[in-house]
Structure formats: C-alpha cells, structure tokens
Structure 1
Amino acid sequence: MENPMQKDNDFALAHVADSHRKGFWSMLVVMMGFTFFSASMWAGGKLGTGLGAWEFFLAVMTGNLLLGAYTALLAAIAARTGLSTHLLARYSFGEKGSFLPSFLLAVTQVGWFGVGVAMFALPVQKVTGWNLHLIILVSGMIMTFTAWFGMRALTVLSFVAVPAIAVLGFFSVGKAFTDFGGMEGWLGLVPAEPMTLFAAIGICVASFISGGTLTPDFTRFARSTKIAVITTLIAFFLGNSLMFLFGAVGAAFYQQADIADVLMQQGMIVWAMVILGLNIWTTNDNALYASGLGLSNITRWPKKILVLINGAVGTLMALYLYNNFVGWLSFLNTMLPAIGGVLIADYYMVRKASYERLEKSSFVTIRPVAVLAWTAGVLAARYIPGIAPLNSVVCAMAVYVAGTSMIAAFSPSTQPKSL
C-alpha cells in the first residue's frame, strides 16, 4: 500500500520525488533567504564593536568558510538521497535514536522563530507605540500561516525578500561610509572592548550552526548535487558574510549592535521595518518548516499541523527567547554541531557515500555509537579550547568512525548493510 505521506509535496517522511526537484535559481533564493537573517546582523554588530576592520574580515571569512564547508557536505548528502536531516539521522542514530537530533533541532528552530518575531516586533513598537504583545501575536500568526504552504511559499517569499534585503543593507553601509569617512574611517576605529579572534570566529560559526545542520531539509529538493553544493556555499559564505558586514559597519560607526537602532539613526526606519520584516519572515518560515519536519519524524503527525503548533509556541515565548538570546546561542554552540558531524561521518566515511532507500532499509532502534559520538562532540565544544563548533564536529566524527570500526572489528557478523 502506498504511504500517504509520499503524497505530501514536502515529503516529510519520504524521499523527494524527481518531479519536485528544483533548479539553481529557486534553490539559491531559498538558501539566501534562509541565511539573510537579522540575528546574523546582530552578531555582526557585536563583531563590529569588538574588532578592527581587518580583524573583522578575517574572522568572518574564516568562520563562514568553515560554515560553508560544513553545510556543503550536508547539502551534497541531501541532494543525492532526497532526504531531510531527520530521515538521514535514521541511518546513523537508528530509527528511534533519530528522535534525539530531531527533537534538539526542532526545539532550536522554534526558538529562532521566537527570537525573530521579537526582533521584528520590538523596533516596530518603538516607532509606532502600538501594543507590543499585539504586534508579536499578529506577526507570528502571519509568519506561521505562510510556513504552512511549505517550499512553494518559501521560494516565492525569498524571490521578493532577498534582493530587497541586499539593497537596504548596501544602502545602509554606503550611508555609514559617507557620514563617517568611508573605509579609511572604519580602518581608523579602535574597539573600546576588543574581543579575541577565536571568540569572533566562534560567534560567526555559531550564528548559523543550527541552520547549517538543517541544510538537508532544503537542499534535498535540488535537481543535482552541484546545484545543492554551489547554492549552499553562496548562501553560507557570501550571504551570511553580507549579513555580518551590514551589521558590523553600522555598529562600528554608530556603536549600536542592533541593526534596527542603526537604521533609525540613519533616518530609514520606515523602509527598515518593511525590509527587516521580510528578512525575518523568510528565515522564520524556514525555521518553522524545519521544526515541523523534525517533529514529524518523531510523532508521524503531518508536518503542516506541527508547523501551526510550533508557530504558536514560538510566538508565545518570543520575548523570553529574545531576552535570553546569548544563552540560546551558547546552547546552539555546544549541542548541535555534533549532529552534523555524525551525519557526515556516517555517509562519507562509514557508508562510502551510499545509502539504501528508506523502504529497503531495516533500521535498528538505537545506535549507541552515534549517541556516544554526539555526546563526545558536545563535551568537546564545552571543554576543549578553540572554536567550539569546529571542535564539536571534528570530535563527533572521530569518535563515530572509531566506534563503528571497533564494532565491525569485534562483531563483523552483526553488521548488516543498514548497520
């Protein structure tokens, strides 16, 4: 009997059908819309007030190169298999073991959604004087409604939002340079409270490590591996770098880490509300979409219903999540990168870049070696000096490969094709 979930155009519990694969431009705007997020501008603002211009460029280029390499590896897996992050996790973590990464990733995406709603509502309330809770409620409902329609809505919205955000960002940077002496003025600024290069790179990577780990949820729709990898590299290396630049220039000159405050000082608050609203809208829809896929893997409920539930939860918790953003970023920095490390190690190093289709695979319930590798990655991010997300990914990969090799050596007869 045909699985009814296979009729779902978002393929929450199945391989993406060839008929629903997308070309370069559709994938590019979706991925750029995902990475064009105000939180990245906020993080860029932090770097702009803590680093000189050259140190900023070095930190952002290094951080986003690492992030781009990580996400490109995941993008290639998704394009070849047509599977989401959560379904890919069944091969490495086991059928019920995949609930662990699905839950962690879904919860963080609901959190990002709430942060985004508050980041839009607060400056609107400051300008208009409208009731803050009403703005949060209405904007959260609108964002949730469009996320209901899945990839089609994400594509259409991104085609509008991505160029608009880029125009506003470059205009803001240009105005800042005009008002404060151009690039020479930025080069001459000395941070009042400098941060270390390692800390800056860590912030850059952590700013989108949760989104990066969920890259397969979107790139599984790519028509080819080449399209998936190239659009992902552009989005995470170029797109995310632009967001950092837009936030950093304004923050360095105006000493405001919040891009909305910078735009207010530049006299562009009306356009800022419109464009920043589109900016947050695209990423929030991606976040809700991904969280719905994660919880669908756990509950087997339709993704659309879970999108509505997650949108309601994120909206109601928006102010709390916004006020605890730094703590949330720290959580992401330690809990999520190891998941991607396990997925990468399983596909490329253990399975030799070959997965059987879901319907032909017989999954174990839980694979302890994956849970152990994830735990090792979390501990590495927390306790090993250096760039925490990178430590987490590398450690998780090493432990996973070593663990599966030991199991195969001592119990070769227990290793079926699907592990």
Structure 2
Amino acid sequence: MSVTNSQDSQTVDQSQAEEDYPLTAVPLYARKSFLSMAFMLLGFTLYSGTFFAGGLVGPAFRFFPDLVGLLVVGNLILGGYAAALAYIASKTGLSTVLMARFSFGSVGSRWVDFLLGFTQVGWYAWGSGLIADLLNQLAGVPESWNWLIILFFTYFFCITAYIGYRAMDWYSRIAVPAIIILMLWSLTISANQIGGFEGLQAVQPSGELGIGAALTIIVGTFISGGTQATNWSRFSDSPRTATLSTLAAFFIANGFVVFGGAFSALVYQNSDMVMVMARQGLLVAGFILLFLNMWSTQDNTIYAFSIAFSHMFRTKKRTFFVLIGATIALALAWGGIYESSQFINFLILLGTFIPPVGGVVMADYWLYRRGQFPSLDEPQPAFNWAGIAAYVIAAAIAYFTGKAGIGIAPVNGIIIAAVLYPILTKVIPQPTGTTALK
C-alpha cells in the first residue's frame, strides 16, 4: 500500500494537522498550489548568509565565463538535487526524515534527524549573530547590547514557524517581491559603478580557490536546506508543482543571491549586500532587505529543525521543538558562532556530509522500492545497514576526494551513495521490520 493512499482521508489525527503533519504523510486535501509553494521556497532561499558564499567565490575567478559558469553549474546541481527530493516528497507526502526511516532504519534514521536538525539550528544561530553585527556596524548600536538584540530576534523570527505553513506562506508572499526589488536596485547601482560588463571583465582575480572547492561552497551553502526542502514540497498538489517550484527556488533564487554576493565582492570588495547598500546611500533600504530576508529564511530554518527533532523524539509536538531549537540557537549565538574562524570549513563540511543522505533516500525510493514506499505503519528494522554503510562510505569518499581536489565533493557523495545502496541491499541481508512509527 502506498503512503499517500493510506493517508488520503480526512481521518488523519487532527493534532497532526495542527502541527503540520510531523509524523504522517500530508493528505491530498491539505496540499498547496504552485503559487504557494513558489513563494514559500523562494523565501527560504533568499538568505543573507548566502551572500557570503558568493563573496568567497567571486574574487577568485574572472567574471565571464568563469564565475558565471560556476554559479550556473553549482546552483543547477543544488537545484536538481533538491527538485529530485521534492518530487518524491510530493508523490509520498513525506519529509526527508520520514523517508529516511525506510533507508536508514527506525533507529538509524535518528542520525539523519540530528545531522539535518543541528545544521539548521546552527544556521539559525549564525543569522541572529549576523543581525547583531550589522546593527553594530551600520546603526552604531553598542556591542554591549548584542545579547539583547540576539535574544529578541532569535525568538521573534520563529513566530511564523511556530504558527506553521499558513503563516510562513503569507509572510513569503509579502517579503519575496520586496526582497527581489531591493536586490535588483542595489545590483543596478553596482553595475553602473563599475562600468557595466566591460568593467567587470577588467577586474582581475584576487583570490585563490579551486573549481572543486568553489562548487562545494556554492552547493554547500544551502545543501542542508535543499535536503530538507521536502518539509514544504510534501505539501505540493502535484509532483510537477513540487519539482518546478523547488528548481526555481534553489537554482534561480539561490543562484541570484550567490551572484549578488559575488557581484558585490567584485565591485566593493564586500559581499554583504546590506553593507553595500549602506555605501550606496540606501541604508534604510538595506535594513529593510536584511529584516525581510532574514525572517523569510530564519522561520523556515527553525521549522526544519522542529520537523527533524519531532521525528527524532517521535512526538507530534512540532511547535515545542520550534522553541527548543530557538533556545539552542540562542546559546550558540551568545557563544559566538558568528565570529568563528571555522565558518568556511563548516560550509565545506555541509557540502560534503549531507548530500549522501539524499543519495541514499533517492536510491531507496527509485531503485530499491521502485517508486513506492511502504506504509508508515508497516514495521521497519531498527537499522538498515545497507543505507548506513552506503552513507558512511559515500561521505568518506566525498570528504577525501574533496580534499584531494578530485571532482565535486557534493556530487561525488550523491552519486556514490546512490550507486552503493542498491548493491549493498543485495549483499547485506535486510532484517524484517521490528519497529513501527507511533
């Protein structure tokens, strides 16, 4: 029996509906249109933190065709990966952490919960620190107030996530058009400042970064988000809606933000578009941009954490974990995560260790189960050793090939995991199910 069919009735526990179905498939009557999905996912990917990835990559390459080509390829990889998972989510109504129960086992999937949830709460904490830092630099707010700024925004931005999909949907419909307009305004001024295309071509690369490392950074900035975009694409009214809206968000919108950071770094030697807008005399507009895009991503980020940890602890109380996640992020932000010198390494590690999860999940759905997951009520083994082994091997290969500059670490991880999993399911005996999700 397919998951979708088993859940396609209005007898779904009302408490699951009120909590956005953290432990069940989203029923067909609760699905959303392309417009709703597009705004939601665009809001998720239009994130200030992604500017910094563009700033890391931009100065190391000639603008065209080198930099532009890297941005297209990197975001196409990211968009294609996220869209493939989105397709499965729409067909089944499941989030990635629920899919992982089949490919990693009922207990083994808790590693996926932790990996995806922790990275999201880390981004949430980093975002709170970013806001405090920009207020220090641009508004002259004393650093002694940072603890209060971080406290306020950490809990303020989780309001829409606490309410759930409907609140995040309507906020994104307001924020996304405004964010795009403000970014285009700033980029137009930047282009005029440097002398258009000819001026950009005249800028000589000033950094040293290999193509593989650059693509890993581009993909790594949002690979965790792409792996968890299923939290929203599972609400899509059709696989077409899920695929196109996710591709638009992760290829076009995320690419636009990375491009904005790279462009700003080339023109002003500063990838932070808010700082750039201040230099352009658009300080108020810069603050509006910061507020809108931080909120539109932060609420999605802490929402993703709540889905992952609801599954980890097998509880329907998603809203409880919104508050728990915000509190953990608060502690990390107060602890100085934004100022950490290891942030670049964090980006690269995200681009290395998370993609194999998606590779295993996709191989399990398409190659092993032939496009149909069993019912969530069907008992699963505690550990699916084929999935675990495929993940560990793929992650290790991605890490070492990335360090050696062989290929593109995220792509290596996805491909190796997807190839290994069906092979290992034939080699490693599959235990009978012992644990059903309650």
- TM-score, normalised to structure 2's length? 0.90
Which stretch of structure 1 is more off in the superposition, 251-260 or 288-297? 251-260
2:363 to 301, 322, 345: 345
Task: Tell me which residue corresponds to 2:421.
Answer: 400
Report the Cα offset of residue 150 of structure 1. Answer: 1.2
What CA distance in whole angstroms lies between the structure 2 residues aligned with 1:85 and 1:250?
35
In structure 1, the gaps of 5 or more residues are none
Of residues 391, 398, 406 in structure 2, which corresponds to 1:381?
398
**202-211 or 6-15: which moved more?**
6-15
8 A contact 1:172–1:246 mirrored in 2: no
Instruction: Please say which of residues 119-128 and 199-208 is displaced more in the overlay.
Output: 119-128
Corresponding residue for residue 28 of structure 2: 18
The 2-side partners of 1:396 and 1:287 are apart by 25
Question: Which amino acid in 2 is paired with 1:372?
Answer: A
Return the offset for 1:42.
1.3
Is the Cα–Cα contact under 8 Å of residues 251 and 262 in structure 1 kept in the other structure? no
Deviation at 1:406, TM superposition (A): 2.2
Q: Does 1:278 align with 2:292?
A: yes
Paired amino acid for 2:395: V
Report what 1:147 is aligned to: 161
Going from structure 1 to structure 2, the CA distance change for 1:86 and 1:176 (only over 3 Å counts) comes to same
Tell me the secondary structure at the aligned position of residue 163 of structure 2: coil
In structure 1, what residue type is equivalent to 2:396? L
Other-structure match for 1:239: 253
Find 2:372's aligned residue among 354, 364, 368. Answer: 354
Give ranges in structure 2 of 5+ residues lacking alignment.
1-10
Within 2, Cα distance between the matches of 1:16 and 1:347? 18
Assess if the C-alpha contact under 8 Å between 2:212 and 2:409 holds in 1: no
Q: Give 1:261 shift.
A: 2.3
Taking the aligned partners of 2:111 and 2:180, their CA distance within structure 1 comes to 36
Q: What is the aligned counterpart of 1:105 among 116, 121, 135?
A: 116
User: 2:363 and 2:374 mapped to 1: Cα distance?
Assistant: 16
Q: Is the contact made by 2:85 and 2:227 (CA closer than 8 Å) also made in structure 1?
A: yes
Q: Find the counterpart in structure 2 of residue 182 from structure 1.
A: 196
Q: Work out whether residues 120 and 273 of structure 1, in 8 Å CA contact, stay in contact via their aligned partners in 2.
A: no
Matched, 1:313 2:324: no
Would you say how many aligned residue pairs link Structure 1 and Structure 2? 413
2:198 and 2:107 mapped to 1: Cα distance? 56
Displacement, 1:87? 0.7
Q: Does structure 2 conserve the Cα–Cα contact (< 8 Å) formed by 1:5 and 1:14?
A: no
Structure 2: how far apart are the matches of 1:246 and 1:169?
8
Q: Are the equivalent residues in 1 in contact too, given 2:356–2:417 (CA < 8 A)?
A: yes
- Superposition deviation, residue 5 in structure 1: 4.5
Letter of the 1:321 counterpart: I
The one of 388, 406, 409 equivalent to 1:371 is: 388
Contact 2:129 2:338 in 1 (8 A): yes
Shift of 1:237: 0.8
1:90 — aligned with what?
A: 101
Instruction: Decide which of 333, 336, 340 is 2:351's aligned counterpart.
Output: 333
Code of the aligned partner of 1:38: S
Alpha-carbon offset, residue 415 of structure 1: 6.7
Superposed CA RMSD in Å reads 1.9
Percent identity between the aligned chains?
Answer: 35
Contact 1:93 1:371 in 2 (8 A): yes
Query: Which one of 126, 130, 133 corresponds to residue 115 of structure 1?
Result: 126
Partner SS for 1:317: helix
Q: Is the 8 A contact 1:64 1:205 kept in 2?
A: yes
1:389 counterpart SS class: helix
Equivalent of residue 173 in structure 1, options 187, 200, 204? 187
TM-score, normalised to structure 1, is 0.94
CA shift, 1:122, in A, is 1.2
Cα offset for 1:7? 3.8
1:322 aligns with 2:338: yes
